[in-house]
Amino acid sequence: MNSTQVFEKRKIAVAIGIDLAKDHCDVVAYNADNKICFSKANMPYPKLMEWLANTQPAVVLMESCKGCHVRARDIADLGHDTRLVKGADVKALRNVCQKNDIRDADYIARLLYVPGTKFVFVKNQRQQSLQFLQNEYKSFQELRIRVGNQIHAGLEEFGCPAPKSQQFVQSRMMAHLEKNAELIPEEPKSRRKTPRNPVGSRSFKLKVRETHGLFY
Residue scoring higher pLDDT (100 or 130): 130
- pTM of the full predicted structure? 0.64
CATH, domain 3-122, list 3.90.1150.10, 3.40.50.300, 3.30.70.20, 3.30.420.140: 3.30.420.140
pLDDT at 4 exceeding the cut of 70: no
Helix (H) or strand (E) holding 41: strand 36-44
Q: Which of 55-59, 160-164, 174-178 has the highest mean pLDDT?
A: 55-59
Q: What is the CB neighbour count within 10 angstroms for residue 110?
A: 18
pLDDT reported for residue 203: 58
- Per the prediction, the chain carries an average pLDDT of 78
pLDDT at 169 exceeding the cut of 90: no
Helix 68-76 vs helix 125-157: angle between axes, to the nearest 10 degrees? 170
What is the amino acid identity at position 55? T
Residue scoring higher pLDDT (87 or 182): 87
Q: What is the CB neighbour count within 10 angstroms for residue 138?
A: 10
Q: What is the CB neighbour count within 10 angstroms for residue 56?
A: 10
pLDDT reported for residue 77: 94
pLDDT reported for residue 22: 86
Q: According to CATH, where is 3.30.420.140 located in the chain?
A: 3-122
What does the pLDDT average to over 25-49? Answer: 91
Residue scoring higher pLDDT (189 or 61): 61
Alpha helices in 160-199 (DSSP H): 166-167, 173-179
What does the pLDDT average to over 4-13? Answer: 57
Alpha helices in the chain (DSSP H): 3-10, 45-53, 68-76, 87-93, 101-110, 125-157, 166-167, 173-179, 202-215
Band of residue 205 on the pLDDT scale cut at 50, 70, 90: low
Among 77, 93, 85, 74, smallest CA distance to 121 is for 85
